[in-house]
Amino acid sequence: MKLSYKLSVASLLGLGAVTSLFLFNSFTKNYFAQRNGISLEFKAIEVADRKLDYQILNNSFFLYTNQDDVNQKIKEVQYATKTLYYNPHLLEGHPETRHLLQKYTVLLDQKIQTIYEFQTFNTVIKNTSTALLVLQQHLIEEKNIRNHDEQKLLEEINRISGSILLAKNGMDANLMASLHLSTKKLSHKHFHDPKNEELLQRALQHFAVIQQFFPLYINAFNQIHNPKIAITLANSQKMFLDESNNELEFINYFSYILVILFILTLAIIIHFLFRTEREIRLDTLTHLKNRKAYEERISRKKNLALILININKFKHYNDFYGIKSGDRLLIETAHNIRHMKFSGVNPTYYRLGADDFGILFELSSNQNLESFAQEVLSTFSQMPITIDDEIRTPSISIAASDSMPLLETADMALKSKKQSNLVIYHNGLNLRKIILDNMTKVHELKSALGNNRILPYFQPIVNLSTLSVTKHEVLARIVMEDGSVRSIFPYLHIAKESNLYHALSRTIITKSFEVIAQNSGDFSINLSIDDIVDEETTTIICQMLRQYGTIGQRIIFEILESEAIEDYEKLTQFITLMRQYGCRIAIDDFGSGYSNFAHILNLSVDILKIDGSLIRYLDTNEKAITIVETILSFATRAAIETVAEFVHNEAVADIVKRIGVHSAQGFYFYEPAPKPIAP
């Protein structure tokens, strides 16, 4: 449908909409405006109350929080409630609604009083928990532990402390109550060293304080989240709707027809306008021109150049901050790009992909494309982006091209970047060679899958206390046509892009189970999030576990921690299913990407495999040691086993053993082999 025809239809429909609108009397217009306004005020109360609950929950989990935030949220709820209660329309003819709102106000006042009590209990418990951790650390650092009994006493203190922290963070009143007998027994034990004894007594005092206030803390928290207040508000809104419906009885059938006609007319007009002016040539999120507008200009002009701007790791940002925050980042980035001082001739600005933006401009033969690209990179870095009062200016990469087709060549240059954040397309980039190499790898992978040349290899995992092999990690290998064996790692990206990944993964899983069934000991198998959410893959895993009887008790599934977890519920369901077969769960590459301690606790993992990017530098980088020790401290308190990856020399092996890592693997101990080592 041509644009002129659409505009004609939209104009006629608009005239019809205006005519229909005048058929409504002033009462109808005012009534619906007031009714919609009150509905929004109900929503404002609901949102403000939800934000208050979130702030309370936030204060209960994080150590250093600003109580003023809670007070501000309380004021927002009170203001929204008062605004609705004294709404002129409600005062005129909604007595039952105002009566229920009065009940809601009473419940709200009770909730606010409970919040103030909760803040007191929360402060006591958090301060005591912090002091308890400090005392625990002092006890651990003391060297005057004389005998086995005192060592056991220290371990009992650590166990109780850890359990108290878990009970606090999990709000587990039963767990906290179960520790009463342990702390009572602990009070009858003593250290010989006076300093240690003093620390013990102080720890007992803190135990007593937490156990005293924890029931009050839990009770206050539960009262704050009493669903009765939300139900009362919902009943108020329902009563308002019921009373409002009674007021509408006098509106006749013809009025309803006019309303429907008006709404349909507006919907069609909006559809035409948005489809014509926005969806076709304008990106609806950022309001930059879109791909279609880009293609139209590129077809009409010559001597053009394109600067392609990509937000680095935007998917990780989305996963970390959420999609809404990601959208705001895109909007602010587009705003900065549109308003930056760019010296190119006749520039136009586009959103060309999910996180790709483009500047298309005219370039003469005597101008330097790289200088324009450098100008954009430098200017953008000086334009901060603030989201939720926090500066989150993204890191960007830039590729520029004046070779046709512009977008394709710029995109290839962008994907070829190594260290630099700026790449100018030229024939020397050998991008065609990269594409050919990818096609070669696809052929090699298909051939290996079709000819049974994908094999599992096994790398031993060594217990650092006994230096004996206790486990093996399954690693995929591809056997080439000439008989050479390669790591599968360079082929993983190719497998995902060419839809061969699941076939590859299922092959390794099936062959691994066959070997594991013929050998003793424990074996860990790597699974990606793609494997876990794929129903056919999980079905094969369950079939293998049933086929080989009790083999599940010797299987550890390693989940890559740095991968984005988009379907968290699916992941937890998979873990629960695997535990039914006796399998354990490990988090692989922990310490890389966006490591999340909360995920570890929520998933109740058994093993943390500390990423090789940290382990390999332990002998040369003190910061790496600090990070690993932090991970170990968390794992110890959570009773999680640790494994160090990429132990490549004696110095690193000595360090991981000294700082308390349970097990290790790497070329210093063993390289992957076709067969496991017999225990």
Q: What is the pLDDT of residues 648-675, one digit of tens each?
A: 999 999 999 999 999 999 999 999 999 9
**What does the mean pLDDT of the chain come to?**
82
Other beta carbons less than 10 A from residue 679's beta carbon: 11
Which of 396 and 433 is assigned the larger pLDDT? 396
Cβ neighbors of 590 (< 8 A, separation 6 or more) are: 561, 600, 608, 609, 610, 611, 631
Chain center to CA of 397: 23
Find the mean pLDDT for residues 300-324: 85
Range with the lowest mean pLDDT among 78-82, 217-221, 407-411? 217-221
Distance CA 628, CA 102 (A): 56
Share above pLDDT 90 across residues of the chain, in percent, rounded to a whole number: 29
Residue 561 exposed, middle or buried by CB count within 10 Å (0-12, 13-18, 19+): buried
Name the E strands within 251-314: 304-311
Question: Residue 328: how many CA atoms within 13 Å on its side-chain side?
Answer: 13
Question: For residue 289, what is the DSSP state?
Answer: B
Query: According to the model, what pLDDT value does residue 103 have?
Result: 87
Distance CA 662, CA 632 (A): 10
User: pLDDT at residue 220 above 80?
Assistant: no
Strand-pairing partners, residue 357, are 309, 351
Helix (H) or strand (E) holding 87: none
Distance CA 472, CA 675 (A): 10
If we measure between CA atoms, which residue out of 526, 438, 539 comes closest to residue 476?
Answer: 526
Distance CA 180, CA 182 (A): 5
Sign of the C-alpha dihedral, residues 200, 202, 204, 207?
Answer: negative
Which of 210 and 345 is assigned the larger pLDDT? 345
Q: At 17, is the pLDDT very low, low, confident or very high (cuts 50, 70, 90)?
A: low
Distance CA 26, CA 252 (A): 15
Task: Please give the single-letter amino acid code of residue 356.
Answer: D
The per-residue pLDDT for range 547-568, each reduced to its tens digit, is 998 999 999 999 875 444 556 7
Strand-pairing partners, residue 307, are 359, 400
Q: With contact defined as beta carbons under 8 Å apart, do 304 and 359 qualify?
A: no
With H, G, I as helix, E, B as strand and everything else as coil, classify residue 307. strand
Question: Residue 56: how many CA atoms within 13 Å on its side-chain side?
Answer: 26
Which of 413 and 481 is assigned the larger pLDDT? 481
Question: 291-428 and 456-477+496-664: same fold?
Answer: no
Chain center to CA of 241: 39
Q: At 280, is the pLDDT very low, low, confident or very high (cuts 50, 70, 90)?
A: confident
Find the mean pLDDT for residues 151-166: 77
Fold of 456-477+496-664: TIM Barrel (3.20.20)
Helix segments in 62-94, DSSP class H: 67-85, 88-93
Range with the lowest mean pLDDT among 164-173, 243-252, 442-451, 577-586? 243-252
If we measure between CA atoms, which residue out of 78, 24, 6, 21 comes closest to residue 48?
Answer: 78
Query: According to the model, what pLDDT value does residue 60 have?
Result: 65
Q: At 254, is the pLDDT very low, low, confident or very high (cuts 50, 70, 90)?
A: low
Task: Identify the residue whose tokens are 């179960």.
Answer: 178
- Going from the C-alpha of 491 to that of each of 232, 443, 613, 619, the distances in angstroms are 59, 11, 21, 31
Fold of 291-428: Alpha-Beta Plaits (3.30.70)
Name the E strands within 269-312: 304-311
Distance CA 407, CA 350 (A): 12
Range with the lowest mean pLDDT among 258-267, 437-446, 470-479, 602-611? 258-267
Query: According to the model, what pLDDT value does residue 384 have?
Result: 83
Query: According to the model, what pLDDT value does residue 181 have?
Result: 77
Q: With contact defined as beta carbons under 8 Å apart, do 485 and 453 qualify?
A: no
- Phi, psi for 305 (deg, rounded to 5): -135, 155
Task: Identify the residue whose tokens are 């001597």.
Answer: 303
If we measure between CA atoms, which residue out of 270, 221, 229, 220 comes closest to residue 100?
Answer: 229
Distance CA 661, CA 658 (A): 8
User: pLDDT at residue 200 above 60?
Assistant: yes
With H, G, I as helix, E, B as strand and everything else as coil, classify residue 269. helix
What pTM did the predictor assign?
Answer: 0.46
Find the mean pLDDT for residues 426-444: 75
Report angle CA 482, 483, 485 to the nearest 5 degrees: 120
Other beta carbons less than 10 A from residue 293's beta carbon: 19
- Domain limits of the chain? 26-118+225-247, 124-220, 291-428, 456-477+496-664
Ordered strands of the 356-362 beta sheet: 345-351, 356-362, 304-311, 396-401, 422-424
Q: At 6, is the pLDDT very low, low, confident or very high (cuts 50, 70, 90)?
A: low
Find the mean pLDDT for residues 145-162: 76
Distance CA 100, CA 286 (A): 43
Distance CA 285, CA 351 (A): 10
Q: At 303, is the pLDDT very low, low, confident or very high (cuts 50, 70, 90)?
A: confident
If we measure between CA atoms, which residue out of 395, 412, 282 comes closest to residue 338?
Answer: 282
Q: At 594, is the pLDDT very low, low, confident or very high (cuts 50, 70, 90)?
A: very low
Q: With contact defined as beta carbons under 8 Å apart, do 502 and 530 qualify?
A: yes
Q: With contact defined as beta carbons under 8 Å apart, do 625 and 651 qualify?
A: no
Task: Please give the single-letter amino acid code of residue 203.
Answer: A
Strand-pairing partners, residue 461, are 471
User: pLDDT at residue 513 above 90?
Assistant: yes
Distance CA 70, CA 80 (A): 15
Which of 523 and 591 is assigned the larger pLDDT? 523
